[in-house]
Amino acid sequence: MDRLPLLVFGPLAIAAVLLVIATGIRQAITRFRSRPTPDQLTAKYETYLRRLLHPQPEAVEKELGKLLPERLLQLYEDKSAIQSVGFQLEKPGKRRWWPKRWPVYCFEPLDLEALNVLPYEEELGPGYCFATTGRGSWYWIAASDQRAKDSPVIFLDYDSGRSHGEAVASSLEEFLNLPRLPIK
């Protein structure tokens, strides 16, 4: 009688363990196979860089039905500035000894492809996410009926939500001139 549970449940336990092992192996193989090759990574980067260095503000403005700020257009004309990546902007906080840091992974290309995949905030109205943290958050600037010289920069935080909708800087000029630190 002591062996009956072992004879009944023993094979079931072994089958469950084998199923878990087989599933893990299958997932590992799938992950390994789905990694992009170095050639694919290079092609993807070259496509991104081509899009970044050849902005299409007229097409974006036509799609938005509004005009982007003049300072944003100037940013995309400065090829070295738009290619800077992997830094943090440091803004003095309410407590001087604890500055607020805003990570910038890279700038987004200014084209219709980016406009169609980047987030759109209904309550903010038309605008453009011009930079990303690389972790589900973007820096957004408003578009308007008349071409503005500049506009406030708003942080759209879809990662943790704590800073979602927070104004990072009162203008893009201020945002771009904040002290830069390397990302840790």
Helix (H) or strand (E) holding 156: strand 153-157
Are 58 and 115 in a shared domain?
A: yes
**In a shared domain, residues 139 and 161:** yes
* Domain, as residue range, for 119: 40-182
| 61 and 126 assigned to the same domain | yes
pLDDT tens track of the chain, all 184 residues? 577 777 777 788 888 888 889 888 888 777 777 778 889 889 999 999 999 999 999 999 999 999 999 999 999 999 999 999 999 998 876 666 677 888 999 999 999 999 998 888 778 889 999 999 988 899 999 999 999 999 999 999 877 767 778 889 999 999 999 998 888 7
Residue 125's contacts (CB-CB under 8 Å, 6 or more residues apart) are 142, 143
d(CA 171, CA 177): 10
DSSP tag of 144: B
Q: Name, in order, each residue with C-beta under 8 angstroms of 13's C-beta and a sequence gap of 6 or more.
A: none
Task: Verify that 66 and 126 share a domain, yes or no.
Answer: yes
Note whether 19 and 50 are same-domain residues: no
Please tell me whether residues 56 and 147 are part of one structural domain: yes
Residues 86 and 151 in one domain: yes
CATH code of the domain covering residue 121 = 3.40.1580
Indicate the residue type of 91.
Answer: K
Sequence-separated (6 or more) residues with CB below 8 Å from residue 48: 109
Judgement on whether residues 109 and 164 belong to the same structural domain of the protein: yes
b/e burial code for range 72-89 (CB count within 10 A of at least 16 → b): beebbeeeeebeeeebbb
Do 167 and 111 lie in one domain? The reply is yes
pTM passes above 0.95? no
**E-assigned strand segments in 59-136:** 87-91, 100-104, 106-107, 127-132
What's the domain count of the chain? 2
Q: Does 16 share its domain with 93?
A: no
Residues 126 and 170 in one domain: yes
| Together in a domain, 29 and 47 | no
H or E stretch at 169: strand 166-169
